[in-house]
Each structure stands twice: as C-alpha cells, then as structure tokens.
Structure 1
Amino acid sequence: MYRETLRDGMLQAARWAARRPFAATGLYVLLVSALFLVLPQLDLWASGLFHDPQAGFFAQDEPFLRRLRHLGPHLVQLVAGACVTVLLVKLLLPGRAPLLPLHIPLFLLSTLILGPGLLVNSLLKNTWGRPRPNMVESFGGDMPYVPVWLPSGWCDTNCSFVSGEASSGMWLVGLAFVVPKDWRLPTLAFTVPLCLLLSVNRIAFGGHFLSDTLLSWGLTLLVLLAVHRLLFVAPPAWARDAALDETLTRAGRRLQERVVRAALRGYAAARRFVAMFR
C-alpha cells in the first residue's frame, strides 16, 4: 500500500512538472537552495569523496579527466559556431532560404549568452565571491566554506558559485528543445549523461561544490524554458520565422549594396592612383 501511494504521488508530481516546467524548475532551485543552506555539510561531504588529505583532489592528476573537462567547451563552441554560420549564410546570401528555421539559432545563441554567459559567468561567478573547494580550509586551502547565495569577499573573480561547466552542460541538453521530435530521445540520451559527467568532473577537480552544480542546472534550465516560451510557444511578431527571414534579407541586401559601393570607390581610387604615373 505504501509503495503504491508513493508511486502514485511520484507520477502525479511528474505530470504536474510536465505541465508546468517553469514552476517545477523554480521550485527545484528553491528546494536545492534550502537543502544546502540547512545542511551545508552535504557540500563538504560530496567534495570529500574526491579528496585525499595527502594528495589533494585526485582528478587533477588524471589526464583523461583533464581532457574530459575541455570536451564541453569544444562542443559548445561547435554548436554556437554552427548557429552563427546559419545566420551569416543568410546575411551574405539574402536571396536564398535559410539553412535552418531562424528561430533555432536565435534560441540557441540567446540562451547561451543569457544563461552560461551573463547569468552564470558574469553575474554570479564574478560577483558572489564564493571560494572554490580547493580554496577552503577543509581541503587544504586557507579560506572558509561559504554557503550558497551568501555573497562574500573571499574570492575576487571566476569563483565557485555557480558552475560554468554545469551550465554549459545543461545548455547542451537544451538542444532537445530544437531538434525534430524523432531526435529528442537520442539527443537527451547523449547530452544528459554528458552534462552529468562534465559536472561531476568539476567536483572531482575541486573546482565546484555539489550545490554549485545543482543550482547551475536549475538556473540555466529556467533561462532555456523562458526563452523557449518566448520564441516557440508564444512568439512575438518580430521573432517569427517569416519576420526574422525578412529582417536578415533586408540587412543582407543593405550589406551587399555597401560592399558594391565600397568596391566601386576602391576601383576608382586605384584608377586615379595609376593615372598619376602615366
């Protein structure tokens, strides 16, 4: 009876989260924040799993894990580069149809800038001042442990709260928002484990606490959901594919006209220069 009640409750919670993903993610962020504010020792325990008092954080001496750390940024650059290429091709060849519906690169680039870029790396990591695990006294450093959401002056820039790698990993999971329906499960089957590996890897390096990772996932997912609603669910007139196509087409044609005018001016200047020596 207890198991059936628990199962039914979990199913109802899953259905509610599926119907209200933004509210569910916001609740997740609140619950994770409350958990680590009440039980900060969870952070120290999780980091301690990867730390030896004599050798330090073991991942720092593992070549494979060091290479794994760079996989996430490379994939992010690859996806972002593909998005920029789609927009540039449309801008340089305005008469042709875009390679992809233009709301897709707009979604991916805007969420990358707003989530991992502005919210995580610029606002939180550079202003909150939370020392990384390898900086705190419990793991051989000289700084105190600082709880989540508590601004401090112990770290000046590029600090622990929250995790940039975890944010980038969750952003890659966001590819499932834009791929065709038949590709969503395979996309999630690749990006979710990758996000977990990249995030745990940073904990193993002593670069982030568990709370940094869990909160980074939630905050980045909030950005993805908000922008997805704006561009996919209830897009304003300017964000619809036809309007985006028209905007880039006009911009591309203006660019072409300016290039032609600049080329003609250069040609005329070259002719005048040559005439001086006749």
Structure 2
Amino acid sequence: MINNQLVNISLIIFCFLSFLLIYNQNIDIIISSLFYSKNVGFIYKDNFFVKKLYYSIPILTKILVVTCLCSIAYLYLKTKNLKIILSSGFFFLLITASLGPGLIVNFILKENMGRARPREIIEFDGSKLYTGAGIISDQCQSNCSFSSGHAAMGFYFTAISYIFRRKFTKIFLSSMLFGMLVGLSRIIMGGHFTSDVVISGFIVLIINHLIYVLWENYRLKI
C-alpha cells in the first residue's frame, strides 16, 4: 500500500528547504563554494562516479520512455481499449515523466527563468551575475540552471513506487536516495545550485503524488 506518511514527510521537508533556499539566497553560494577551488574550478567535476551519475539520467530516461511507449502500443494492439491503456501503470509512468521533469522543469522553468549556472557566475570565475532561486533573470538564454532537469528525473523514479505498492517504501526511499545523489553530482560539477536540485525534487514529488491520486480514482471508476 501507499505510505502516505512517508510521502507527506518528504513533501514537508522539501517544501521547507525550498522556502529556506529562496529566502536565504546566500546558502546556494556557500554550498557550491565547498566544491570549488580558485586553481582548478569545481574540484570533482571530472570524478568518475560523479560523471557516471550525470550520464545515467539520459540513458535511464530513454529506457523508461521506450519501455512505456512500446508497452502502451502493445496494449492498444491487443485490446483496442482506451480505458485499459489509461489505467495501466505504463501510462501513469509516462504522464508523470512528461508533466514533472518534462513540461514543468525542462520546458517551462529551464527555458524561462534565465538563471546562470554556478560555473558561469562571477563568484566562480565566470562572467554572469548570480540570481537567487525563483527570480526571473536575463543571465541565461536557454537550458538554464533553474531548476535541475537531472535531479528532477532522479527524484522522478519515486513514481515507480506507486506501481509496485507492496514495496512502496523501499522503492520510494531508494529513488529519493538516487535523486539526492544525482542532484549532488550536479552541484559538485558546478552545473546547478542546491536550490535547483531541491525545488526540482519538490515539484516532481508533488506531481507524482497528485497524478497518482487522479489516476487511481479513474481506475476505481472503471
């Protein structure tokens, strides 16, 4: 069954951290500076494990999308029943990925907020001005820092726990850990601020849960 207490606690923590990072804009600079050196830039940007986490996301995303699309196509050919397709776990996984990491994070936020990445700002030997989280800026034109697409996909995999409900807690916590590691890798590489990661996680967790509630209600009515 769904561990609503775990979901609620996660949402409260991420909500609190999001507001804290928006309220105190210096935290982002302080945390990023822990991984930065004047001599070499972001110290661990070429670390083997950091890069593996970074490259794992596009690979896992392609596997997920192809699997869901092929499975939905198979269901359509086999049943010709739209209700069965819409109530399938593959549809749920595809729609949550499309709305959370896809539409909200990568299309709306990253393409419109204009926040320069840590490695691009003056504080870390770049030429761009630092912009706080949630503030619209003109320091980046496309594929900007706010918020993190990689972290969003990392946290997105909590959606799988809603499909395998008997192992909900284990899958949810494992996916949360994976999302945190991916997010940390982006901070270490100078690709994102901490707020980019946390807010992406908050957005994805909300979307996953809201879509699940709507999807489950639909399934119960069939």
The two structures have a TM-score, normalised by structure 1, of 0.71
Which residue is 1:40 aligned to? 25
User: What is residue 224 of structure 1 aligned with on the other side?
Assistant: 208
Match of 1:89 among 74, 98, 108: 74
- The reply on whether 1:170 has 2:148 as its aligned counterpart is no
User: Do structure 1's residue 75 and structure 2's residue 54 form an aligned pair?
Assistant: no
Indicate the residue corresponding to 2:179 in structure 1: 195
Q: Is 2:12 the counterpart of 1:18?
A: no
2:106 maps to a residue whose letter is N
CA contact (8 A) 1:131 1:154 kept: yes
AA at the equivalent of 2:64: V
1:34–1:196 CA distance, 2 compared to 1 (3 A): closer
Q: 1:195 to 1:19 in 2, by over 3 A?
A: closer
Number of residues paired by the alignment? Answer: 219
Distance 1:171 1:104 in 2: 14
* Equivalent residues of 2:155, 2:178 under 8 A apart: no
Q: Take 1:63 and 1:187, find their aligned partners in 2: how far apart are those partners?
A: 26
SS of residue paired to 1:122: helix
Larger radius of gyration: 1
Give 1:86's aligned amino acid: S
Kindly indicate whether the alpha-carbon contact (under 8 Å) linking 1:76 and 1:172 is maintained by their aligned counterparts in 2.
Answer: no
Q: 194, 197, 212: which is aligned to 2:196?
A: 212
1:126 equivalent in structure 2: 111
Q: Partners of 2:220 and 2:188 in 1: how far apart?
A: 43
Per the alignment, do residues 135 and 156 of structure 1 end up closer, same or farther by CA in structure 2, a change over 3 Å counting?
same
Residues of 2 paired with 1:241 and 1:85: CA distance?
Answer: 25
Aligned to 2:91: 106
Give the secondary structure class of the aligned counterpart of 2:191.
Answer: coil
Q: Deviations over 1:101-126 (max 9, x none)?
A: 94311111001000000000000000
Is the contact made by 1:36 and 1:43 (CA closer than 8 Å) also made in structure 2?
yes
1:195 positional shift: 1.3
CA deviations on 1:129-178 (whole Å, 9 max, x unpaired) are 01100011111111121011110111001000001011101111221111
Q: Secondary structure at the match of 1:121?
A: helix
* Residue 196 of structure 1, CA deviation: 1.4
- The aligned residue for residue 4 of structure 1 is none
Task: State the identity %.
Answer: 27
Secondary structure at 1:61 match in 2: coil
- Contact 2:76–2:85 (CA under 8 A) maintained in structure 1: no
Contact 1:101 1:241 in 2 (8 A): no
Amino acid in structure 2 at the alignment position of 1:47: S
The alpha-carbon distance between structure 1 residues 211 and 93, as it changes in their structure 2 partners (threshold 3 A), is same
Corresponding residue SS for 1:59 = coil
